[in-house]
């Protein structure tokens, strides 16, 4: 059966407006498919200093693009308030993203506020950030000092010509690598490097990237190019399935599968048999991981999205800027999550791009990757 996503979200959107108190939940807060709310991704800006063609193509994201005005952005205090409520409802992992999160002024102040949050049993959160690395050399130490524990750096290749072409702002690979070095020096351990693989564009960079990062302490993760947003002109023939990436890697190294580090983990992990580290495969297109998806996304202007491919979010900003109490915010969050049924990737085959919700999907730079 084909699920129509839009009307369902519409109803839930309205329901959010009715303020209600939180009710004690017996066990974890679950959605309609029994998935807990575990991860919160927070987009701190819809702007970026890159124009990756698969995310913010220059032709669309030009000087006339209607980026959000500053007044529309959630303040650090508003973000922290949502995060605090979400943590009380089960969130254990927070990822700051964007757009390019390091463009948000004083981002380390937000990191410090989030790092101070504690779970109901007194544990710190798993707090991480995804960046294109352009400003990392300048920011790494401040982020570490503010309490950031982990980091993901996106890098689509080592070939400088291809990389400059992919970021479309002529940004050199060297500066991202310098950012990675600075992050290591600052003491940010377990850095992940994300490479979106596009057939015919950077698939020849799979082996050079693996050679470079093998044994470096950074975990390279290959991501299937996804049909997110409505502007990147995605085509299935541009996707390099993870199994093909694995076969390519196996031409050079023996690899063995590893068990997931945590439930709901997006990457399949493989270890180099010689003990020199691991790689990750994120098969968002060919092997849907909706069944375990425990992620919610908070957009730059305070809407909560329950799926990367959602067409509408739930407006939390109006609650934050209204007179909603902490308890009412928790009640809204409970209600939103308990009504969640999203599983776009699992339904992708039945809901093709041409006839599906593609034209109305929100951009990844706005809700955060």
* CA geometry: angle 265, 270, 271, nearest 5 deg: 130
What is the secondary structure of 304-336 as a DSSP string? EESSTT-S--EE-HHHHHTT--HHHHHHHHHHH
Q: How far is the CB of 338 from ligand SAM (least distance, A)?
A: 28
289 binds ligand SF4 per the rule CB under 6 A: yes
The residue ranges that bind ligand SAM (CB under 6 A) are 48, 54-55, 97-98, 100, 130-132, 154, 194, 196, 223, 225-226, 228, 232, 364-365, 369
The alpha-carbon radius of gyration of the chain (Å, integer) is 20
Q: Which is nearer to ligand SF4, 228 or 324 (CB)?
A: 228
Which entry of ligand SAM, ligand SF4, none binds 290, CB below 5 to 8 A by partner kind?
A: ligand SF4
Contacts of residues 236-239 at CB distance under 8 Å and 24 or more positions apart, as own/partner, are: 236/285, 237/199, 238/198, 238/199, 238/200, 238/201, 239/199, 239/285, 239/286
Residue number, nearest CB to ligand SAM? 369
Tell me how far the alpha carbon of residue 56 is from its chain's centroid.
15
**Pick from 45, 106, 76: nearest CA to 365:** 45
Binding to ligand SF4 by residue 365, rule CB under 6 A? Answer: yes
CA 68 to chain centre: 19
Rounded to whole angstroms, the Cα distance separating 267 from 352 reads 24
We find the least distance from the C-beta atom of residue 98 to ligand SAM, in angstroms, to be: 5
Q: How open is the CA angle 118-280-184, to the nearest 5 degrees?
A: 60
Nearest to 333 by CA among 97, 88, 41: 88
Residue 56 interface partner, choices ligand SF4, ligand SAM, none, CB cut-off 5-8 Å depending on type:
ligand SF4
Q: Which of residues 14-73 bind ligand SF4 (CB under 6 A)?
A: 48, 50-52, 55-56
Pairing relationship of beta strands 255-257 and 268-272 according to DSSP bridges: antiparallel
d(CA 317, CA 320): 5
Query: From ligand SAM, ligand SF4, none, which one binds at residue 226 (CB under 5 to 8 Å depending on kind)?
Result: ligand SAM
The DSSP secondary structure of 256-291, one letter per residue, reads EE---SSTT-SSEEEEETTSS-EEEEE-TTTS--GG
For ligand SF4, the closer CB: 268 or 365: 365
Contact criterion met (CB below 8 Å) for 57 and 231 = yes
Interacting positions 131-190 with ligand SF4 (CB under 6 A): 132, 154
Closest to ligand SAM by CB, 84 vs 192, is 192
Which part of the chain contacts ligand SF4 (CB under 6 A), choosing from 14-22, 69-77, 95-103, 252-260? Answer: 95-103
Which segment (74-82, 93-101, 212-220, 327-335) binds ligand SF4 by CB under 6 A?
Answer: 93-101
Indicate which of ligand SAM, ligand SF4, none lies near residue 131 (CB less than 5 to 8 Å, by partner kind).
ligand SAM
Stretch near ligand SF4 under the rule CB under 6 A, chosen from 139-147, 171-179, 256-264, 337-345 = 337-345
Q: Which CB sits closer to ligand SAM, 89 or 268? A: 268
How many residues touch ligand SF4 (CB under 6 A)?
A: 24
Residues lying near ligand SF4 in the complex (CB under 6 A) are found at: 48, 50-52, 55-56, 98-100, 132, 154, 288-290, 293, 295, 307-309, 342-345, 365
């Amino acid at each position: 059966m084909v699920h129509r996503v839009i009307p369902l979200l519409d109803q839930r959107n309205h329901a959010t407006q009715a303020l209600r108190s939180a009710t004690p939940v017996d066990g974890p807060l679950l959605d309609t498919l029994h998935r807990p709310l575990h991860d919160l991704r927070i987009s701190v800006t819809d702007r970026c200093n890159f124009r990756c063609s698969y995310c913010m193509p220059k032709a669309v994201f030009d000087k006339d693009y209607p980026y959000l005005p500053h007044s529309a952005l959630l303040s650090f205090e508003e973000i922290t308030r949502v995060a605090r409520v979400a943590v009380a409802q089960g969130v254990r992992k927070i990822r700051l993203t964007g757009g390019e999160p390091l463009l948000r002024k004083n981002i380390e102040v937000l990191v410090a506020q989030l790092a101070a949050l504690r779970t109901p049993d007194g544990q710190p959160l798993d707090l991480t950030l995804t960046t294109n690395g352009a400003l990392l050399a300048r920011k790494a130490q401040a982020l570490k000092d503010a309490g950031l524990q982990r980091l993901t750096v996106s890098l689509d290749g080592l070939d400088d010509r291809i990389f400059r072409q992919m970021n479309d702002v002529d940004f050199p690979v060297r500066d991202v690598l310098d950012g990675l070095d600075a992050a290591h020096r600052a003491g940010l351990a377990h850095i992940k490097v994300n490479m979106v693989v596009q057939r015919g564009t950077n698939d020849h960079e799979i082996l050079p990237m693996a050679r470079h990062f093998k044994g470096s302490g950074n975990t390279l993760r290959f991501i299937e190019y996804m049909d997110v947003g409505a502007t990147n002109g995605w085509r299935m023939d541009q996707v390099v399935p993870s199994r093909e990436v694995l076969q390519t890697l196996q031409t050079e190294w023996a690899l063995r599968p590893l068990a997931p580090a945590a439930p709901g983990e997006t990457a399949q992990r493989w270890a180099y048999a010689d003990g020199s580290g691991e790689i990750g495969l994120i098969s968002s297109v060919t092997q849907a991981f909706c069944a375990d998806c425990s992620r919610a996304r908070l957009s730059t202007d305070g809407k909560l999205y329950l799926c990367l491919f959602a067409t509408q979010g739930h407006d939390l900003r109006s609650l934050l800027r209204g007179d909603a109490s902490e308890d009412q915010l928790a009640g809204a969050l409970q209600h939103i999550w308990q009504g969640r049924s999203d599983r776009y990737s699992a339904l992708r085959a039945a809901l093709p791009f041409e006839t599906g919700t593609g034209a109305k999907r929100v951009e990844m730079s706005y809700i955060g990757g």
